[in-house]
Amino acid sequence: MSTSGSGPKTLCVRVHAGVSYLWGDSMSKEKLLTESMEDYLEMFFRIVSKQGYIRPVDLSKAINVKPSSVTRMIQKLDEAGFIKYEKYRNIALTDKGLIYGNFLVWRDEKLKEFFRLSKENVKVEEQVEGVEHYITPVTMGFIHKLIIYFSSDPDRVRELENVQRQSDYPGQEDLRYLRAWLFQHSG
């Protein structure tokens, strides 16, 4: 840890009760979003964008979980500053929740768009759910540029699909025990 203001900062992450906490030299203790928190916040944003408000029962129905699970997640997101919740009232997204919710919905939509560029992709929704929590905003920006590049000229996708596999690509190996095999074409 640096004692001067210009040196490297110490960053600590601690997980407690399923919530990651982030703090450093000059940072206050802040909660990081877990995968589950991201999924809930994304759905919060979708529902609020559609109907202008959200109640716990709306969220419970939308994601098909028990109301008690929704209540626990609402409390976590409220404590983290993404929503404002008062018992027996509608839930409001904070400015922070609006920013993150908007990004999460955009990320989901862009990843689906990216995977659908190729005719080889199946079960796009499942694949997106499997990777979306591990892609940084910077990488999402690059993926968005790829979408624009390939979408602006459909021949580019065809050219890419026709590129011969490089010799170090293990495409001919038996890889059926990878979890990703679940997303392969049947047959």
Report CA torsion sign: 31, 32, 33, 36: negative
Go through 122-158 and write b for each residue having 16 or more CB atoms within 10 A of its CB, e for each that does not: eebeebbeeebeeeeeeebeebbeebeebeeeeeeee
Neighbours of 116 (CB within 10 A): 12
49-58, 122-131, 141-150: which is most confident = 141-150
Which ranges constitute the DSSP H helices of the chain?
35-51, 56-63, 67-79, 95-115, 124-131, 137-151, 154-162
Question: Residue 11 — pLDDT band, cuts 50, 70, 90?
Answer: very low
Confirm or reject CATH 1.10.60.10 for domain 102-162, answering yes or no. Answer: yes
Specify the pLDDT at position 159.
85
The answer on pLDDT for 93 being more than 90 is yes
Percent of the chain with pLDDT over 90: 50
Specify the pLDDT at position 90.
83
Question: What predicted TM-score, i.e. pTM, was given to this entire model?
Answer: 0.74
pLDDT in tens, 16-53: 444 444 444 444 446 789 999 999 999 999 999 999 88
The answer on pLDDT for 4 being more than 80 is no
**Considering the chain, what is the average pLDDT of its residues?**
79
Residues counted in the chain: 187
> What residues form DSSP beta bridges with 11?
24
- Domain at 35-99: CATH architecture: Orthogonal Bundle (1.10)
Domain ranges within the chain, ordered by starting residue: 35-99, 102-162
